[in-house]
C-alpha cells in the first residue's frame, strides 16, 4: 500500500507544480485584459464551458490542503474538494472517461484559529474539466474552465487552457486526470 500512496502523492505534487507554473494566473490575465484588450487573445466561443450548477451534490472524490510551504500556494493555496458527476465515476475506476464526464476542483481559503484548529474559509474559485472528445480533440478530449467567486463566466485565457492541457497530458495513462478516488471500489448503485 505505501507504493500506491506514494504514487498518488507524486501525481498530486506534479499537478500542483503544473498549476503553479501555468502560463498566466487568471486574475492577472483578467487585469491585463482590462488595460490592454487588443493584446489579449479572446477565449474561443467553442471552448467555453458552462458553470456546473449543483456540483456539490455530486460524488466527493477527495479533499486536500495546500499550505504556504508549497510553490503553488499563491494561486492554489487552501483547502480543496474534488467532485465528479455520475458519468465520471467509471472513469475513476477504469482510467477511461466517457464524454460528458465533469470534474470540479472547489478551492477555499483556510482559517487558522491559532488553537490547533484550521477550518474552511471563503471560496476562492472553482476549476472545471469537461470531457468531450470531438469538441476538445486538440487537448486530449478535455476542456478546462475556471470560475471566480460570484461569477458563472469562465475566466481562463486560451494560453491558460493550453497550459492546463499540457500539464494534464502527463497523466494520459490515467485519462488526463490527476486525482484518484480512494473509495472507487465501493459498490455501484444497485449493488450490495
114 in a structural domain: yes
User: Residue 83: enclosing H or E segment and its boundaries?
Assistant: strand 78-84
**pLDDT exceeds cutoff 90 at 43:** no
189 in a structural domain: no
162 in a structural domain: yes
190 in a structural domain: no
Tens-place pLDDT, residues 87-140: 999 999 888 999 999 999 999 999 999 999 999 999 999 999 999 999 999 888
Strands 142-148 and 59-66: unpaired
Query: Which of 6-15, 18-27, 80-89, 165-174 tops mean pLDDT?
Result: 80-89
What gap in Å lies between CA 147 and CA 124, rounded to an integer?
9
Percent helix, strand and coil across the chain, each to the nearest 5: 35, 25, 40
Strands across the sheet containing 142-148: 59-66, 78-84, 102-112, 118-131, 142-148
191 in a structural domain: no
User: Total structural domains in the chain?
Assistant: 1
Q: How confident is the model at residue 51 (pLDDT cuts 50, 70, 90)?
A: very high
Tens-place pLDDT, residues 128-183: 999 999 999 988 899 999 999 999 999 998 888 888 888 888 888 888 888 888 87
- State the cell numbers at 68: 504556504
183 in a structural domain: no
Query: DSSP code of 70?
Result: S
Strands 59-66 and 78-84: antiparallel
**pLDDT exceeds cutoff 70 at 26:** no
Domain region containing 96: 2-174
145 in a structural domain: yes
Q: The domain spanning residue 45 has which CATH number? A: 3.50.70.20
pTM of full prediction above 0.85: no
- State the cell numbers at 180: 484518484
10 in a structural domain: yes
- State the cell numbers at 124: 476562492
Amino acid at each position: 500500500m505505501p507504493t500506491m500512496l506514494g504514487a498518488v502523492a507524486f501525481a498530486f505534487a506534479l499537478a500542483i507544480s503544473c498549476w503553479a507554473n501555468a502560463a498566466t494566473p487568471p486574475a492577472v490575465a483578467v487585469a491585463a485584459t482590462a488595460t490592454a484588450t487588443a493584446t489579449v487573445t479572446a477565449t474561443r466561443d467553442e471552448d467555453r464551458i458552462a458553470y456546473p450548477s449543483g456540483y456539490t451534490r455530486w460524488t466527493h472524490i477527495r479533499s486536500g490542503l495546500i499550505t504556504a510551504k508549497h510553490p503553488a500556494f499563491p494561486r492554489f493555496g487552501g483547502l480543496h474538494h474534488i467532485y465528479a458527476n455520475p458519468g465520471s465515476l467509471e472513469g475513476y475506476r477504469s482510467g477511461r472517461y466517457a464524454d460528458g464526464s465533469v470534474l470540479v476542483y472547489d478551492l477555499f481559503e483556510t482559517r487558522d484559529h491559532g488553537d490547533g484548529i484550521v477550518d474552511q474559509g471563503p471560496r476562492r474559485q472553482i476549476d472545471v474539466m469537461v470531457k468531450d472528445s470531438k469538441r476538445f480533440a486538440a487537448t486530449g478530449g478535455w476542456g478546462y474552465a475556471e470560475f471566480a467567486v460570484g461569477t458563472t463566466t469562465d475566466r481562463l485565457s486560451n494560453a491558460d487552457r493550453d497550459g492546463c492541457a499540457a500539464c494534464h497530458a502527463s497523466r494520459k495513462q490515467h485519462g488526463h486526470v490527476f486525482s484518484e478516488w480512494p473509495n472507487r471500489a465501493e459498490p455501484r448503485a444497485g449493488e450490495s
